[in-house]
């Protein structure tokens, strides 16, 4: 797949909720341009009409016309409509109405200086226990090898694969400072805050390779904090996942667990 070209306008949109957001962005811009041009014309009109000139005396009394008052009421009306009628429903659908977990791909996204870790729960659908005390170079998320739920978990760095047309619930958090998980072509942005796990959801409706950017200045290599997100067919996703998911045997020593985890992290 060719990486997406971003262009100069809004980036391409691969998400289910993107059209509503784009519609809102365009509507807002058209409204702001209309306001800017209208007030600009009004300002120039006033400058000319009330300029200093022979035979004209400045009046300190306000204009008796009701027009400005009606114009302001209309502007407030449109702004309330944009906020309550357009923005709130889109925001609410995106932030509160989550799809059922059983129909979704549920992952954890753990930001760190300067990479994105993606933790998949494996076939059992359960995330292995993670503990900061277990974090090491070979086990960057501190996953507990003694927890059976961790044995089929998959951890991937800067490579986020997901099936198209399936909702994805991502729990966003950070290991160190505040980052922000941003995928412009999915119209997704969520701060990654240490100590908090914030769920977001989205659904890709087209296949493509896209970039995950960090949208919050997080340190010297912030600009290098780039991940790759691949939305692909269910078959391609299953194939990718099968190549990475390898159940751990309970008897395997921890070193072997970490070695396999490490091997699974190294992605192309
Ligand atoms: Cu960052």
The reply to whether omega before 126 is within 30° of 0 (cis) is no
Low-confidence winner among 54-68, 88-102, 226-240 (lowest mean pLDDT): 54-68
Gap from CA of 69 to ligand 1 centroid (Å): 47
pLDDT band at 105 (very low <50, low <70, confident <90, very high): very high
Predicted local confidence at residue 158, as pLDDT: 92
Whether residue 5 is predicted with pLDDT greater than 80 in this model: the reply is no
Task: Give the range among 108-112, 145-149, 212-216 with minimum mean pLDDT.
Answer: 145-149
Higher confidence at residue 251 or residue 131?
131
Ligand 1: centre distance to CA 248 (Å): 32
Q: Which of 15-19, 67-71, 108-112, 164-168 has the lowest mean pLDDT?
A: 67-71
pLDDT at 180: 96
pLDDT at 267: 46
Q: Looking at per-residue confidence, does 227 or 82 come out higher?
A: 227
> What is the rounded average pLDDT of the residues 141-158?
84
Q: What is the mean pLDDT of residues 229-240?
A: 91
Residue 69, pLDDT > 90, answer no
Phi, psi angles (nearest 5°) of residue 141: -105, 0
Flag whether pLDDT at 213 surpasses 90. Answer: yes
Q: 131 alpha carbon to ligand 1 midpoint, in Å?
A: 21
CA of 55 to the centre of ligand 1 (A): 65
230 vs 257, more confident: 230
Mean pLDDT of 253-261: 57
Query: Across residues 146-160, what is the average pLDDT?
Result: 85
Q: What's the CA-to-centroid distance between 180 and ligand 1, angstroms?
A: 6
What is the CA(219)–ligand 1 centre distance, in A?
7
Q: What's the CA-to-centroid distance between 175 and ligand 1, angstroms?
A: 11
**What pLDDT does residue 125 have?**
81
249 or 93: whose pLDDT is higher?
93
What residues have a C-beta under 5 A from ligand 1, the ion?
179, 214, 218, 225
| pLDDT, tens only, 166-195 | 999 999 999 999 999 999 999 999 999 999
Residue 268: pLDDT band (50, 70, 90) is very low
Lowest mean pLDDT among 21-30, 55-64, 117-126, 209-218: 55-64
Out of 34-43, 83-92, 106-115, least confident range: 83-92
Ligand 1 mean position to 231 CA, how many Å?
Answer: 22
């Amino acid at each position: 797949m060719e990486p997406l070209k971003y262009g100069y306008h809004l980036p391409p949109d691969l998400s289910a909720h993107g059209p509503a957001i784009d519609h809102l962005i365009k509507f807002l811009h058209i409204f702001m341009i209309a306001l800017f041009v209208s007030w600009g014309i009004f300002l120039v009109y006033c400058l000319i009409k009330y300029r200093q000139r022979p035979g004209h005396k400045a009046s300190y009394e306000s204009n008796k016309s009701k027009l400005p008052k009606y114009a302001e009421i209309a502007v407030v009306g449109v702004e309330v409509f944009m906020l309550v009628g357009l923005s709130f429903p889109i925001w609410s659908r995106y932030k509160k109405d989550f799809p059922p977990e059983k129909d979704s791909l549920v992952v954890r996204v753990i930001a760190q200086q300067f990479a994105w870790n993606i933790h998949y729960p494996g076939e059992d659908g359960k995330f292995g226990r993670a503990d900061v005390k277990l974090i090491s170079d070979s086990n960057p998320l501190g996953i507990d090898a003694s927890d059976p739920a961790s044995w089929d978990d998959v951890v991937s760095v800067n490579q986020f694969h997901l099936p198209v047309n399936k909702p994805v619930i991502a729990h966003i958090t950070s290991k160190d400072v505040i980052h922000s998980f941003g995928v412009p072509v999915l119209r997704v942005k969520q701060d990654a805050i240490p100590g908090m796990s914030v769920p977001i959801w989205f659904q890709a409706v087209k296949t493509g390779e896209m970039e995950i950017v960090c949208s919050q200045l997080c340190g010297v290599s912030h600009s290098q904090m780039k991940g790759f997100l691949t939305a692909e067919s269910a078959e391609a996703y299953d194939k990718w996942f099968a190549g990475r998911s390898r159940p751990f045997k309970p008897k395997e020593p921890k070193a072997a667990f970490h070695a396999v985890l490490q091997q699974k992290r190294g992605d192309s």
